[in-house]
């Protein structure tokens, strides 16, 4: 099985982050984050719907689907928070020349 966190995974993630950083010039970081979360939720719902033959079948798995995506997001958020905690000065403070 291919590694889901291969170079292409990070390249796609970086492309989304770069797009968000560009949007910060037009909106607050919080507004951009809300848009990104909405887009991720919408795409996740679309992705889920592709795996069902009917709305009724999808509804039967709704709670399981929500749990899957929430747990995945929580793991990724916790990992990134831990990275920022461990590397706070390097990530958040400007480098001196």
In this predicted model, what pLDDT tens digit does every residue of 62-80 receive, in sequence order? Answer: 999 999 999 999 999 999 9
Cα diameter, the chain: 61
As a whole number, mean pLDDT of residues 46-59 equals 97
Q: How far apart are CA 94 and CA 89, in angstroms?
A: 8
User: In Å, how far are 11, 35, 51 from 7, measured between CA atoms?
Assistant: 6, 25, 27
Per-residue pLDDT, 96: 63
As a whole number, mean pLDDT of residues 11-28 equals 96
Per-residue pLDDT, 95: 65
Alpha helix (H) ranges present in the chain?
Answer: 7-23, 29-49, 55-60, 62-86, 88-92
pTM across the whole model? 0.84
Q: Domain coordinates of the chain in residue numbers?
A: 60-97
As a whole number, mean pLDDT of residues 38-50 equals 97
Q: Which two tokens stand for residue 77?
A: 């958020």
Per-residue pLDDT, 1: 47
């Amino acid at each position: 099985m291919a590694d889901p966190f291969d170079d292409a995974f990070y390249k796609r993630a970086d492309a989304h982050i770069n797009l968000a950083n560009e949007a910060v010039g037009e909106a607050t970081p919080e507004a951009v984050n809300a848009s990104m979360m909405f887009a991720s939720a919408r795409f996740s719902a679309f992705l889920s719907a592709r795996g069902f033959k009917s709305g009724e079948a999808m509804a039967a798995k709704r709670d399981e689907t929500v749990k899957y995506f929430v747990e995945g997001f929580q793991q990724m958020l916790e990992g990134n928070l831990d990275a920022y905690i461990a590397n706070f000065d390097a990530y958040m403070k400007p480098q001196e020349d």
